[in-house]
Amino acid sequence: MMNDLMIGFYWQSRMLSLLDAAQAVHVFQKLLEKQIPHGNKISFQSTTLDKQSQSDDWISEFCTHTISDQHRYSSYEANGKPTSHANSPLGFSFHLSNSEKRNTGLHLIGTIGAYDEFTKNSVTVKICKDICSEIIKSSPLFQVVKKTLLFGITHWNVSLGKIFSLKLSDAIDDDNFTAIGWLTYLAHLPPEQIPAKSELLGMGITWEAVPQGGTLFMLDQEMVSADNPEHVARGKLLRARLMEHGWIEN
């Protein structure tokens, strides 16, 4: 059974101005519209997801949908609005989609530019199962999502990236957030540190170097499923070995 797929990007504190954040999201949005079949017409969503914005002014739209009266910013205009060069310890949160429903379409959700000790930076591409079904009619799903993951790894300069479904994550580790997905990228782990005769190979798990550094692990080149005991076993083994070597935390 097809599940919604998530492509997640995660990193620690990194300050961004409002303008830099808007531009970074805009570039990534354009990549998604080009890369993912039926991923076009992504626009900002209201907080209630009941209507989409129609403005052509990207920066104004980003400000409208990310500025919060509950945040403090580093600089303000005379009208009380943050300047384009303002930053916020809590960053800028956004939600874009080409569907008014949470369970259909393509969604781009994130918080970037955060630099306080409690707020994490993350961007998630949610490819709902209706879009996944359309992708596989014309393209190998693995290639589409892998290419998107690799672009995002570079674009967001992440420490962790992964492609996963919530059901698979729960099956691998039902107690904690798990770093392990169908594909998992670890920026801090050079591939040469992994034993050449690792038992991971015997389970069908492969890995490769990423040009900007780090290692990309793949449980399979076919779509993995939480309903497949072999796929779940691979995920559990990869998680166990990475934890054993201290390459991820519990």
Q: What is the pLDDT along the chain (250 residues), one digit of tens a residue?
A: 678 999 999 999 999 999 999 999 999 999 998 888 777 778 887 543 334 444 457 788 898 889 988 899 999 999 889 999 999 999 999 999 988 888 999 999 999 999 998 889 999 999 999 999 989 888 899 999 999 999 999 999 999 999 999 999 899 885 656 789 999 999 999 999 988 777 887 888 999 999 989 999 999 998 898 999 999 999 999 999 898 888 887 6
Residue with tokens 């490769």: 208
Distance CA 228, CA 168 (A): 10
Q: Is 109 helix (H, G, I), strand (E, B) or coil?
A: strand
Enter the tokens of residue 249.
């935390």
- The residues with which 108 forms a beta bridge, in sequence order, are 96, 125
Q: In which region does residue 14 sit, left (phi positive, over 0), alpha (psi from -120 to 50) or beta (all else)?
A: beta
Is-contact 145 35, C-beta < 8 A? Answer: no
Q: Could you tell me the pTM of the whole model?
A: 0.91
- For the chain, the structural domain boundaries read 1-158, 164-250
